[in-house]
């Protein structure tokens, strides 16, 4: 332990606060004053569709409110370090107003750069370029705002493209302004023990094939769950020993779905990462955290990036391709038959992903400790 007397207070929102509370973490009471970003994101969603860039552009009132809550906390209480895990509001407003900075700040992110979809035309390309130019100007114009900038990954995880017309290449600019921790996993699957022991612990060693469906902590995944449930009987017809566990997450009611025989619906699974390491196949959205947990565990998986979600479709997909991990599924092209066929294919011939480094959390902790 680098700093045994360290106290960590979390300023966070639901559903993160539920997880923190379950793990006896210290949640700052001002957390209840934060405007909920998950609710806004859910309101912005279509059918397995989230235009992430536009959704963030339309949440200024949420970001400024939450920044002011954060700012008041720091003005009333002294903190030695702010760990800003993609806290866009804090990073933006402290760069805009450096005199408001109240503590050292370590900025963490696993992607850098807004990316347009070609099919959305020149306006989106112009706007993402403008946002990237503003970010570059902030960092280069006020280099002392971030006391440390940590890219959660390695240089090879940077998307090979530019920030936009007239702007630098991401792979040239980012290494000049970030340090690299490698990917950070809460607990690397190598510490879980043998896969056979895990399967025995969870009852997955009864001769059946176990498929886990997990769609994240928001309410965005309902449409995907329904389509997967429709695919399950088709896959089971080809693999009679197949069973499925669907984890809806805290913002979806498991009772709203009609599950066919052989499917178990759960709202929450403690230690989900351990279950993902023990199962035979997983079906997930395109979020990086779950995909990298599966990659590190070597578990075959299908992932369905949200349409129009630039991070999932560009940054996450690029990283997973590098690891030879996961089968990317286009939701609009994936009817139940297509999903069932992909499930069977992955179970019959699973790909072998490249290893995920186990030391990312330790490296990041060392970087943070040097600021204390």
What is the predicted pLDDT for the residue at 218? Answer: 64
Instruction: List alpha helices for 280-335, DSSP H.
Output: 288-297, 310, 317-323
Distance CA 113, CA 156 (A): 15
Distance CA 316, CA 141 (A): 29
* CB of 118 closer than 8 Å to CB of 148: no
What is the predicted pLDDT for the residue at 180? Answer: 98
Instruction: Write down the domain spans for the chain.
Output: 9-186+359-369, 189-348
Q: Do domains 9-186+359-369 and 189-348 have the same CATH topology?
A: yes
* CB of 149 closer than 8 Å to CB of 233: no
Q: Which residues contact 308 (CB under 8 A, 6 or more apart)?
A: 49, 50, 51, 52, 117, 120
CATH code for 189-348? 3.40.50.2000
CATH top-level class of 9-186+359-369:
alpha beta
Task: Tell me the whole-structure pTM to 2 decimals.
Answer: 0.93
**Burial of residue 322 (number of CB atoms within 10 Å: 0-12, 13-18, 19+):** middle
Report residue 239 CA to chain centroid gap.
31
Binned average pLDDT, 10 residues per bin, the chain of 372 residues? 90 90 95 91 78 88 97 97 97 98 98 95 96 98 98 98 98 99 94 95 96 82 94 98 93 88 92 96 95 98 94 96 98 98 97 95 97 96
């Amino acid at each position: 332990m680098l700093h045994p007397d360290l106290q960590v207070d979390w300023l966070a929102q639901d559903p993160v606060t539920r997880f923190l509370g379950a793990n006896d973490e210290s949640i700052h009471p001002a957390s209840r004053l934060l405007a909920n970003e998950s609710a806004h994101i859910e309101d912005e969603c279509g059918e397995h569709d989230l235009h992430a860039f536009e959704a963030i552009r339309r949440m200024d009132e949420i970001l400024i409110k939450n920044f002011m809550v954060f700012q008041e906390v720091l003005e009333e209480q002294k903190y030695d370090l702010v760990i800003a895990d993609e806290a866009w509001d804090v990073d933006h407003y402290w760069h805009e107003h450096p005199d408001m900075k109240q503590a050292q700040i370590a900025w963490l992110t696993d992607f850098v750069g807004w990316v347009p979809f070609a099919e959305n035309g020149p306006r989106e390309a112009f706007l993402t370029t403008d946002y990237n130019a503003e970010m570059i100007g902030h960092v280069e114009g006020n280099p002392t705002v971030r006391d440390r900038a940590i890219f959660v990954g390695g240089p090879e995880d940077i998307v090979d493209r530019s920030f936009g017309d007239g702007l630098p290449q991401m792979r040239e600019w980012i290494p000049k302004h970030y340090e690299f921790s490698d990917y950070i996993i809460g607990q690397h699957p190598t510490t879980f023990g043998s896969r056979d022991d895990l399967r025995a612990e969870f009852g997955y060693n009864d001769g059946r094939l176990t498929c886990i469906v997990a769609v994240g902590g928001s309410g965005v995944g309902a449409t995907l769950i329904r389509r997967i449930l429709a695919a399950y009987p088709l896959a089971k017809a080809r693999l009679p020993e197949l069973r499925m566990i669907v984890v809806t997450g805290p913002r979806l009611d498991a009772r709203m779905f009609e599950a066919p025989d052989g499917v178990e619906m759960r709202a929450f699974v403690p230690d989900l990462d351990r279950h993902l390491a023990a199962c035979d196949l997983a079906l997930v959205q395109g979020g990086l955290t779950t995909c990298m947990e599966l990659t590190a565990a070597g578990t075959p998986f299908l992932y369905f990036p949200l349409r129009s979600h630039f991070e999932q479709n560009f940054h996450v997909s690029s990283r997973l391709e590098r690891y030879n991990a996961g089968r990317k599924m286009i939701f609009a092209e994936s009817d139940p038959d297509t999903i069932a066929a992909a499930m069977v294919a992955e179970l019959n011939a699973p790909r072998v992903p490249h290893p995920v480094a186990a030391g990312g959390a330790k490296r990041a902790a060392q970087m943070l400790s040097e600021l204390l």
